[in-house]
Amino acid sequence: MTTTDAPALEMRGLTKTYGSGPTAVAALRGVDVAFPPGTFTAVMGPSGSGKSTFLACAAGLDRPTGGQVLVEGVDLTARDEVGRTMLRRERIGFVFQDFSLVPYLTAAQNVELPLRLAGRRADARQVAALLAQVGLADRAEHLPSALSGGQQQRVAVARALVTEPGVVLADEPTGALDTSTARSVLRLLRAAVDTLGRTVVMVTHDPVAAACADAVVFLVDGRLAGRLDAPTPEAVAARTARLEDLVPAAAR
Ligand code: ADP
């Protein structure tokens, strides 16, 4: 059941082990975390700490070994693959580091794509309005190859928002961008939270990007290793430096 006061995204006792026997790797070792509606949270941690696995489980792309993932109160882990895909298409938007636009579709067609995949009618006015919101009203008919990296990522943000999802998952969305274009993409994610009420969960290595969020949660070795509210770049950088010291030598 969906309840209005449910967290937008919640993990309960989430575990994920890849492989079995002596070569098994425990990527997540019992993560409990909730992201309230209309919040922006950054997820940080050293390489190998489980960030990608965390996002893949949140998206229902990877099946956890144990525990639950709830999207707006709906247990993703209780659904079969078709059910997970439907929930993902309707309620989750994605932004990837490499933009992942379809190269032979125009900006407008890329933005429409999630609606088409969800079997919904693409509303040209809605797509145009979203492209205008991300500052690309005059680029609607361009192919991705005719757009800069920052422009492509802004198309990707519009695409992530078109189904009006409760949750937007962003995987290093500024990792391939220079500082000023990164800032414009972060502003869009911030606006998606502040003006549209979306819930953004963003994996990042960048303390400046993380400081755009309301809070940062830290992962170390598959476990939550703390939280920082109202983060500043300096506070995030200081905490990240200390976390590196906690990583078991074998995992480095
Ligand atoms: P991060 O995104 O923080 O770098 P990952 O979630 O990618 O961390 O990885 C966490 C751990 O799980 C690492 O030890 C990694 O080697 C392991 N891992 C990730 N994906 C797989 C996989 N498909 N098969 C085996 N091990 C994996």
- The CATH number for 225's domain is 3.40.50.300
Residue nearest to ligand 1 atom 7, measured at CA: 52
In a domain, 96, yes or no: yes
In a domain, 2, yes or no: no
Candidate from 15, 23, 43, 52 with most ligand 1 atoms within 8 A of CB, to mutate: 52
In a domain, 124, yes or no: yes
- Provide the phi-psi class of 6: left if phi over 0, else alpha when psi is between -120 and 50, else beta: beta
Check residue 30 and give its pLDDT. 97
In a domain, 72, yes or no: yes
- Distance, CA of 135 to chain centre: 21
pTM over 0.75: yes
Q: Give me 251's structure tokens.
A: 């995992």
Check residue 146 and give its pLDDT. 97
Check residue 242 and give its pLDDT. 85
Ligand 1 pocket, Cβ-based, cut-off 6 angstroms:
18-19, 25, 27, 45, 47-53
Residue nearest to ligand 1 atom 11, measured at CA: 27
**Overall domain count for the chain:** 1
- Distance, CA of 59 to chain centre: 9
Domain residues for 157? 9-244
Residues 222, 4: Cα–Cα separation, whole Å: 30
Candidate from 18, 29, 49 with most ligand 1 atoms within 8 A of CB, to mutate: 18
| Closest atom, ligand 1, to C-alpha of 222 | 10
In a domain, 36, yes or no: yes
How far, in Å, from the CA of 222 to the mean position of ligand 1?
A: 9
Q: Give me 161's structure tokens.
A: 């928002």
In a domain, 35, yes or no: yes
How many Cβ atoms from other residues are within 10 Å of residue 19's Cβ? Answer: 9
pLDDT tens per residue, range 156-213: 999 999 999 999 999 999 999 999 999 999 999 999 999 999 999 999 999 999 999 9
In a domain, 250, yes or no: no
Give the residue among 162, 39, 163 at the shortest CA–CA distance from 91. Answer: 163
Strand order in the sheet with 66-71: 25-35, 9-18, 66-71, 74-75
Least confidently predicted of 52-61, 90-99, 173-182, 236-245? 236-245
How far, in Å, from the CA of 48 to the mean position of ligand 1?
A: 6
In a domain, 3, yes or no: no
